[in-house]
Every structure is written in C-alpha cells, then in structure tokens.
Amino acid sequence: MGTYTFRLPDIGEGIAEAEIVAWHVAVGDMVEEDGRLADMMTDKATVEMESPVAGKVVSIAGEVGDVVAIGSALVVIETEGEGEAQAPAAAPAPKSEVVEERLEVETPDAGDVTRVEAVAPPPPPAPPPSPPAAPKAAPAQAVEPVRRGYDAKVLASPAVRQRARDLGIDLSEVRPSEEGRVRHADLDQFLAYNATGGYRSAGAERGDEVIKVIGMRRRIAENMAASKRHIPHFSYVEECDVTMLEVMREQLNASRGDKPKLTMLPLLITAICRTLPKFPMINARYDDEAGVVTRYGAVHLGMAAQTPAGLMVPVIRNAQSLNLWQLAREIGRLAESARSGSAKSEELSGSTLTVTSLGPLGGVATTPVINRPEVAIIGPNRIIERPMFVPDGMGGERIEKRKLMNISISCDHRVVDGHDAASFVQAIKKLIETPVLLLAD
C-alpha cells in the first residue's frame, strides 16, 4: 500500500490560507477519484476540494473552523501500490462557488454557525441541613420551615411549599380548602383566579449552547471588527415626510403593466444618485494604508441583502444611469441571486456606497456600520403615520395624518465632515418630499 498527500492548492491570487468550513470525509472513509474532500473558504470564495486519487482517508488536517496554509497537507490517502502515490498529470482545478462577502452588521443567525454542544444548566445547590428537632412532638405531616417572608403559620407539605417558592406565591394569600392545610389543588385554584398576577413562569427552562463561529459568520465578525477598529464612525438622522412620495409610488404601480413593482428603495436610490454629484466625498473609498481617498464619478451602490448564508451586499453597477423601473428590476434580480447563492464575484464587489434597509423592521433610527473601505452607509427606516401640522392654504395650519420616515447615515469622520453629511441628507429630503423633482430632468 502507498500513500498520497493532498496539499491545499493555490486557489487564488494573493491567497495565503483558507478556512475549513465543511468536511465531506472522515478518517477511515473510502474516497473515489474526484470525490469531495472538503469545502475551504478564502476571503473571496468558498472552494470545493476534490481528491485526485482513490483510496482510504488516513488523516485530515484539522476541524471545521481551522485555518490551513496554502501548500500544507490537507488529507492523507492510503492508495493501492507502494510508496508515495503521484497525482494525475493534469489534476482538475477545484470547483468553486464564489460567495464573496461584503458584509453589513446584523444580528447573528443561528443558521450561519455550527452547533457544538448543549450544556445543561448547573444543578441547584444542596439545601442546608435541617435544624435539630424540637423536644415537642412533630405534627403528623412534616411542615418545611418558611423562607422569604412566607407565613410560618400556614400548614403545607414541603412539595407544596417548594412549588409556591418557585412561583413566587406567598402561601398566606392562598385559601386552604380543608383542614387548614394548603394543597396543590389550592395552588391551582389560586393560579386560575390570579392568571394576570405574574405568578406563571415567564418561559421554559433551557440549557446553554456553545456555538463555534466559523465560515461566513466568522467573516462577518472579522469585517465588522476591522470596520469599527479603523473607522471613527458618526451618525446623523433626519425625519422626512414621504406622504406625497407614497402617493406617486402608488400611481406609478397602478399603471406599471409588465414592469416590476416599485418599492421605496428605487425611489430613494434615485434621490441619492441625483444628490451625490454635489457631495462627491460621500461616494468614495479610503485606502488608509496608502493615505488616498478616491472619489468616484459612477455610483456602484451596494445593497445589503439577507440570505440563508448570512448578510451579503450585491452591487448595482452604475446606478446613476438606471431609471426607476430598471432599478426595481436590478434590485429584484440581485436579491434573488444572493439568496440562491448564484451571485457572481463581480456582482459582490466594488461598491462605492451602501444602502441597508430592514423594511418594516427598520425601527425609528439606525446606526449602521460602514462597509469598509467605503466612507458612508445610508439606512432608511420604517414608515410610520403621525398627525402633523400642515399649511391649510389660507395662511394658517391644520392637523393632517402624514407618512414619515427617518433616514440614517453613518460616515467615516476622517473623510466626511458632519456638516457635509447633514447637508447631503437634507438635499435628499428635499427631493423625496417634493417627488416631482425625482422625475424632472
């Protein structure tokens, strides 16, 4: 028998190492030629490794989450024949599914991580020893000493007292049904009549979980930590009246025919693209190592999209050149390709400015983390209805129900001044509060 050592190949220019995100074999397994060995994740892609030989797996490089250097042994396979087996002359290049990660902050999703173990809660401490018995004869059924303010004169078994403690019930408030002794049935009746009194448990007891952070969730953590570590963030929030914008959107959708349905996002992107020429410092990237800021003429707009694999940011190329319907179609296409995992590398890189929206979950205001090396990120929040004072057309005011939405922006204070960020958002506000300007040349 011989052995073949499969070493991690060079899977991309400038890539020095890759993380093990999944094993498809274990020690002792038989693997066929071209059989799947492992999935490796780099900064740019998840790559599937295939075996160039058939045989029995005798060792693997490590566990899921470990990082392996290019050229290091990944799998050792026992093969037929003597000595070190040789790879085929033209081994096929590893197949890859490119999933580049341009990430925004979000609450972690349990689907992005690998469950390691469930740790049961520690057992409760043993109760202190009972005091010596008094000289007097004890009653026929033992009555446990009362703690935490419970009435010591109430007769009850130790089990009933323990249940009352767990529920936070003072036994002196429970009416005994017979013989002056509180029983479980009396507790049940008390709970039935006091269901809103806060005596029921808030939730079921659950064990702790230890989660290993690997794959995309690790990349999210690393990117967000780097962004917060290197970028001095500041945020600005402004309230906008989108009542007329919503009216215009409904009118456009009513006559859209076979065009895609308009959401708020294409309208906001249009307002952003019309405003950016006056604020070029917003549509920029900062290379802090070289000390160079590049202000971009074209708007390559990153669009944060939640996917089963984690948050991804597909890019709308040259957003400034698209009309409302084209933007709506491109938003839908990119969101679907990100969710299905079919997004290409060029669709997931090169953004110059990012918009992150949680739709109806957007809250009142957000402080999103900048998608480094960009210098700004914009977050529209949810639309709410409130009474507002509006002009009545006769020199006075009247109260009217209006639709309001806050726009949040986070900026890199090394590149963008507070005055510039505020002025930029105010210019967007003017456009969306006077929506006819969005369609004017």
- Provide the pLDDT for residue 137: 43
> 409-418: per-residue pLDDT in tens?
999 999 999 9
Residue 7 is classified by DSSP as: E
Please give the domain boundaries of the chain with CATH numbers for all domains: 2-97 (2.40.50.100), 139-201 (4.10.320.10), 215-389+397-439 (3.30.559.10)
Question: Is residue 413 annotated as a catalytic residue, yes or no?
Answer: yes
> 126-137: per-residue pLDDT in tens?
555 554 444 444
Whole-number Å distance between alpha carbons of 410 and 294: 18
For the segment 276-282, the average pLDDT, to the nearest whole number, is 97
> Does residue 181 register a pLDDT over 50?
yes
**Torsion sign, CA atoms 16, 21, 25, 31:** negative
Whole-number Å distance between alpha carbons of 78 and 84: 9
> Does residue 398 register a pLDDT over 60?
yes
Tell me if 404 sits within 8 A of 429, measured CB to CB. Answer: no
> Does residue 113 register a pLDDT over 90?
no
- Provide the pLDDT for residue 119: 43
> Does residue 112 register a pLDDT over 50?
no
The pLDDT confidence band at residue 92, using thresholds 50, 70 and 90, is very low
Burial 187-200 (b: 16+ CB within 10 A, else e): beebeeeeeeeeee
> Does residue 195 register a pLDDT over 70?
no
Whole-number Å distance between alpha carbons of 80 and 43: 37
- Provide the pLDDT for residue 14: 72
- Provide the pLDDT for residue 404: 97
Extended strands (E) in 42-170 = 46-50, 55-60, 67-69, 73-79, 83-84, 95-97, 114-119, 155-156
For the segment 304-313, the average pLDDT, to the nearest whole number, is 83
DSSP 205-250: ---EEEEE--HHHHHHHHHHHHHHHH--EEEEEEEEE-HHHHHHHH
Tell me if 108 sits within 8 A of 212, measured CB to CB. Answer: no
> Does residue 116 register a pLDDT over 80?
no
Tell me if 383 sits within 8 A of 404, measured CB to CB. Answer: yes
3 state SS of 318: coil
Verdict on whether the full-model pTM lies above 0.85: no
Extended strands (E) in 298-346 = 301-303, 305-307, 310-312, 315-316
- Provide the pLDDT for residue 82: 65
Q: Which tokens sit at 298?
A: 């074209």
Instruction: State the DSSP H helix or E strand holding residue 40, giving kind and residue range, or none if neither.
Output: strand 36-41
- Provide the pLDDT for residue 328: 96
> What's the distance, CA 375 to chain centroid?
21
Question: Is residue 420 annotated as a catalytic residue, yes or no?
Answer: no
Residue 178 is classified by DSSP as: B
Single out the catalytic residue among 413, 419, 420, 441: 413
The pLDDT confidence band at residue 291, using thresholds 50, 70 and 90, is very high
pLDDT cut 90: percent of the chain above it: 52
For the segment 345-360, the average pLDDT, to the nearest whole number, is 90
For the segment 410-427, the average pLDDT, to the nearest whole number, is 97
Tell me if 20 sits within 8 A of 60, measured CB to CB. Answer: no
DSSP 135-163: SSPPPSS--PPP-TT--TT-EE-HHHHHH
> Does residue 275 register a pLDDT over 60?
yes
- Provide the pLDDT for residue 350: 93
The pLDDT confidence band at residue 110, using thresholds 50, 70 and 90, is very low
Burial 271-289 (b: 16+ CB within 10 A, else e): bbbbbbeebebbbbbbeee
Whole-number Å distance between alpha carbons of 436 and 232: 37
For the segment 335-360, the average pLDDT, to the nearest whole number, is 89
> Does residue 104 register a pLDDT over 50?
no
> Does residue 339 register a pLDDT over 80?
yes
Single out the catalytic residue among 417, 419, 420, 441: 417
- Provide the pLDDT for residue 125: 53
> 31-70: per-residue pLDDT in tens?
999 999 999 888 767 788 999 999 999 999 989 989 999 9
